[in-house]
Amino acid sequence: MTDSLKNTPQFVQEIPPGDDRERAVCTSCGFIDYQNPKIVVGSVALWEDKILLCKRAIEPRKGYWTLPAGYLEVKETPEEGAVREAWEEARARLHLERLLAIYSVPRISQVQLMYRARLASPEISAGPESEAVALYDWDDIPWADMAFPSAGWALRHYRESMGKNNFAPFTNPEDGL
């Protein structure tokens, strides 16, 4: 065996000692490659009574509307991530109010943290991951063209929380995933 092949990790699926599920384990050094859920952060952001929505320019669900949200980065707080995602997707500057909801989406291994927020100004424009951005009145939200169920949950939970400052974060609706 050449030296370069000796140093190349080789993984097998097995249950490590003391664990209860299969993991990818390196046959050379015993390293366990844990695969953990991804954390998504986002916001329901308003300017006056209008809600910020982004039309996706990327898959999945390209061409559908959603809230500004995306994956949390390494060494970033969830709050920093939510603010960054609003800037990246809608060139929107936010003031976060509080955590609105924590959703679990186990079929795609995600935990989603959604915040209530206010826009610092109505100036918004599409970032590289958005075809378009818009501020919608509640009655004009394109419900049939929403990209993800959790975006609809967050919008409804936002509406349910309006006028309240003291509430526990919402979770998946009973009829959700």
CA dist., res. 65 & res. 53, Å (int): 6
Q: Do residues 17 and 62 both lie within one domain? A: no
Q: What is the pLDDT of residue 175?
A: 78
Please name the helix (run of DSSP H) or strand (run of DSSP E) that holds residue 94, with its range, or none: strand 94-105
Q: Cα dihedral sign for 141, 145, 147, 153? A: positive
Residues 102 and 119 in one domain: yes
Residue 74 and residue 141 in one domain: yes
Q: How far apart are CA 100 and CA 107, in angstroms?
A: 22
Query: Per the domain annotation, does 166 fall within a domain?
Result: no
Q: Name the residue range of residue 156's domain.
A: 38-161
Could you say which DSSP state residue 146 is in? B
Same domain as 83, residue 29: no
Q: What is the CATH number of the domain that holds 71?
A: 3.90.79.10
pLDDT tens for the chain, 177 residues long, are 455 556 788 999 999 999 999 999 999 899 999 999 999 999 999 999 999 999 999 999 999 999 999 999 999 999 999 999 999 999 999 999 999 999 999 999 999 999 999 999 999 999 999 999 999 999 999 999 999 999 999 999 999 999 999 999 999 998 765
**The pLDDT value given to residue 4:** 53
pTM, two decimals, is 0.87
Q: Give me the amino acid identity at 1.
A: M
How far are the Cα atoms of 48, 96, 157 from residue 119, in angstroms, in the given order? 9, 9, 18
Three-class SS string for 61-76? CCCCEECCEEECCCCC
CA distance 100 to 91: 22
Residues 95, 71 share a domain: yes
